[in-house]
Structure 1
Amino acid sequence: MSKNPFDQFPHIVTDEITLRKIVASDLDSLFEIYSNENLFQYSPVMIKKNKDTVANMIGHFERDFNKGKEIFLGICLNNEPDNIVGVAEIFDYSKDVNMISIGYRVNDRFWGKGIATKAVKAMTDYLFFDIGINRIQAYVMPENIKSQNVLLRNGFMKEGIIRQGFVWKGHGVVDLILYSLLKSDLKK
C-alpha cells in the first residue's frame, strides 16, 4: 500500500547527505546554483540572474508541495547541514500508476564527489520503502552523459528515446531519454 508523497514533507538522511526542506536562509547557496549556466545546460529550467527571483522561488516550493505538484529538496552534506550543494526534485506523481519522476542538480563546485548518485539513491530508497512507490522515472537529454551515468549507477534502466517529444525552455523541442527503476528491480 503506498502513501501519498505529498502527505508529509520529506526529510531524508543518509550516512553522508541530507535532503531537506529549502528555507529562506538558503537563498545564497540556492542562488549560486540557479545562476550557474553549467547546471542548466541540459535542463528545462532557465538560469536566474536575480536573487529576488530565487527568493520568490523558495515560497513557490512550499506552494507547489501543498498543491501536490512538486517537492524541491536541498541536498546538503551532513558535515555542512546549512549549506545546500544541490537540489533534488520529486514530481509528476501518478496515483493510478503508482509512479513518480525525479530530477536533480548539483553545484559544479561539488561535481565528481558522487553527490548526485547518493541523492538519487536517497530519493529512490525513500520513495520505494517509505512511500511505497512502484515506478520512478527520470528524463535526460541525450547529451547529458553524466546524468545518465548517475541513473545507471543507481540501477535505472534506459527505456528509450522520446524523439522530439518535449518542449524545454531555452532548448525548444528536444529528444529525451526515459530511464526508469521499478521496486521489483531492486530484488534482482
Structure 2
Amino acid sequence: MINLYDQFPQIMTDKVILRKIEETDIEKLFEIYSNKNIFDYIPGDVKKSRVTVLKMIGHFERDFTKGKTIFLGICLTEAPAEIVGIAEIFDYDKKVNMVTIGYRINENNWHKGIATQAVEAIVEYLFNTCEINRIQAFVMPENANSHKVLQKNKFVYEGVMRQSQYWKNRGIVDLAVYSRLHSDKNDI
C-alpha cells in the first residue's frame, strides 16, 4: 500500500496516461481552462490568460505537497505529451479512508470515452495501490454525460444533495452524489 501523498502518481493503462502536469503543458491546459463550455458543470470560472494558468501549475505542485489535492493531466497513450483533460483526487479523509474525484476533458475530445477510461484508471489506482475504501464524485444533476461516466465505472448513485454548495458565478447548486466502495469491486 502507498499513502496517497507519498509520491506523485503516474497511472498508465493501454488507452490513457494520467501524469503530473508540467509547465510545458501550458498551451493544452490553457485550451481547457479558457473554454467557457467546460465550466458549465464545474465550479470556478474561465481563465483569461496563460499567466494565470501557469500560476495554477505551481499551485498544483503546492497542493500535492500539502496533501490537499492531486491534479493529473489526462493523456492518450499514443500522445503522452499532449494533455486532453484533467483529473483531480481531493478531500482525502484519512479516518473514513475516502477521497473525492473530479475530471474535465478538452471539448475537442468529448464523447470519445476518455473520461470513462480516466475514471477507470483512477479507481484501479486508488483501490489497488492506495487501498482507499470509498471513492466519491459530485455531479450537477443536469450533467448527463458525467452521470454516464460514473455509471459505466460502476459507481452507485446515492441521491441529490439539494442546495448543498456555493459555486462562484453559479450561486448555490444541487449536486448528485455517486460512490464506489472497495468492497463493491467484485459485487457490481
TM-score, length basis structure 1? 0.98
For residues 155-177 of structure 1, give each alpha carbon's deviation from its aligned partner in whole angstroms, at most 9, with x where no partner exists: 00110110001111111111000
Q: Distance in 1 between matches of 2:129 and 2:2?
A: 8
Aligned Cα RMSD in Å?
0.7
Q: Distance in 1 between matches of 2:109 and 2:44?
A: 20
Equivalent position amino acid for 1:17 in 2: V
Residue 85 of structure 1 deviates from its aligned partner by 0.2
Equivalent position amino acid for 1:47 in 2: V
Tell me the number of residue pairs that the alignment of Structure 1 and Structure 2 aligns: 187
Q: Distance in 1 between matches of 2:156 and 2:141?
A: 14
Q: Distance in 1 between matches of 2:153 and 2:169?
A: 29
Equivalent position amino acid for 2:61 in 1: E
Could you say which residue in structure 1 is the equivalent of 2:12? 13
Residue 46 of structure 1 deviates from its aligned partner by 1.2
Secondary structure at 2:125 match in 1: helix
TM-score, length basis structure 2? 0.98
Secondary structure at 2:129 match in 1: helix
Matched, 1:83 2:82: yes
Q: Distance in 2 between matches of 1:4 and 1:139?
A: 23
Q: Distance in 2 between matches of 1:112 and 1:94?
A: 32
Secondary structure at 1:133 match in 2: coil
Matches within 5 A, 1:96-175: 96-175=95-174
Could you say which residue in structure 2 is the equivalent of 1:4? 3
Residue 129 of structure 1 deviates from its aligned partner by 0.2
Moved over 4 A (4+): none
For residues 26-78 of structure 1, give each alpha carbon's deviation from its aligned partner in whole angstroms, at most 9, with x where no partner exists: 00000000001111101112110111000000000000000000000000011
Secondary structure at 2:81 match in 1: coil
Q: Distance in 2 between matches of 1:3 and 1:177?
A: 30
> Percent identity of the aligned residues?
58
Structure 2 portions without partners, runs of 5+: none
Secondary structure at 1:131 match in 2: coil
Matches within 5 A, 1:29-48: 29-48=28-47
Q: Distance in 1 between matches of 2:45 and 2:127?
A: 30
Q: Distance in 2 between matches of 1:82 and 1:148?
A: 28
Structure 1 portions without partners, runs of 5+: none
Could you say which residue in structure 2 is the equivalent of 1:22? 21
